[in-house]
Amino acid sequence: MGWTEKVLNTKPELKYKSVPEALEAFALEQETYRNSDEVERFGVETRKGLREATRESAWFKRIYGEAVNRFSVPLSGVDLRQLKGELSGAIFENMAYHFLLADLDNQTTLLSPQQTFEIYLIQLGLDYTSEKVIQHPFDGWGIIGISVPDGLEVGLIDLQIKRVHEYTTSNKNHHLSRKVTSFWANRQHHQFPPSEAGLTMTLPDGIMIENRRLAKDLKTKHLPITGSQFREFIHHTINHYRSFQPLEEGVASATLMEIQEFARARAGQTAEVATTLVK
């Protein structure tokens, strides 16, 4: 079974019935959150500062805790690669979101990925129980057939959507083109977000939009970390960063890959014992 699954048991409830009501409530929540240490620590300008802010954040610890649980189950090579990709995507999404929120002026605020998702649910007349709604690891959500952006920038005075935000580590122009095309197609089909809301793409430092036609349709922002440096950060998180959860009593804390190797070894031993019993 893949890591994307239908929502079956854990179903958050929507608190708000209309988009204006949700935008007003979320904007207020975000202004309170923006003044917290969790966001203020992301007011950095260097790669080192960004890495340290990420490691110290509550959201990183939450994501890492879920990763420990998921790596504790023996995975096939395909599922392991997919899980690593999901982990990388979740970390970059939260890194970009918190960096941008800390960097905004006092005229607008930025909704979180989940708040943005809920705005789309309300706009489309859906909720978390809808068959079209799917859940991904690390609190990721999606709607089948709909490209939901990562963030919505909202004006604090008029509570209108000013910009739509996408966060990606990809340097492939065809991938970026697909994101832009999906944005315009969704807007035309659903008449949402409003036509005056532009698109901003947040990328690792050094990645440029080479396609001039594509570049005209959006603004770009960059994090103070290159694509290769971010991949190195993820590699370290998976292969060298140590959790506080021991593999077994008397054993030191382990990396995610050590946890996975232990899970595979344990599963192999169980299978070997079962085979012996059958004989």
List, for residues 191-212, the tens digit of each pLDDT value. Answer: 898 888 999 999 999 988 777 7
Q: For residues 36 and 44, is the Cβ–Cβ distance under 8 A?
A: no
List, for residues 68-116, the tens digit of each pLDDT value. Answer: 999 999 999 999 999 999 999 999 999 999 999 999 999 999 999 999 9
Report which secondary-structure segment, H or E, holds 188: helix 173-190
In a domain, 250, yes or no: no
Q: Kindly indicate the confidence band of residue 2, based on its pLDDT and cuts at 50, 70 and 90.
A: very low
Quote the number of domains for the chain: 1
Q: Kindly indicate the confidence band of residue 279, based on its pLDDT and cuts at 50, 70 and 90.
A: very low
In a domain, 259, yes or no: no
In a domain, 211, yes or no: yes
List, for residues 157-166, the tens digit of each pLDDT value. Answer: 999 999 999 9
Give residue 120's domain range: 5-241
In a domain, 96, yes or no: yes
Q: Kindly indicate the confidence band of residue 37, based on its pLDDT and cuts at 50, 70 and 90.
A: very high
In a domain, 114, yes or no: yes
Whether the model pTM is above 0.85: yes
Q: Measured in whole angstroms, how far is the alpha carbon of residue 172 from the centre of its chain?
A: 19
**Residue 181 has which token pair?**
């095309």
3-class SS letters over 153-181: EEECCCCCEEEEEEECCCCCHHHHHHHHH
Among the ranges given (8-22, 42-56, 128-142, 221-235), the one the predictor scored with the smallest mean pLDDT: 8-22
Residue 106: Cβ-neighbour burial (10 angstroms; 0-12, 13-18, 19+) = exposed
Nearest to 247 by CA among 235, 231, 258: 258
In a domain, 118, yes or no: yes
List, for residues 226-273, the tens digit of each pLDDT value. Answer: 999 999 999 999 999 986 555 555 556 899 999 999 999 999 855 543
Residue 200, sorted as left (phi over 0), alpha (psi -120 to 50) or beta, turns out to be: beta
**Residue 274 pLDDT exceeds 80:** no
Q: Which pLDDT does position 209 carry in this prediction? A: 77
In a domain, 277, yes or no: no
In a domain, 187, yes or no: yes
Q: Kindly indicate the confidence band of residue 187, based on its pLDDT and cuts at 50, 70 and 90.
A: confident
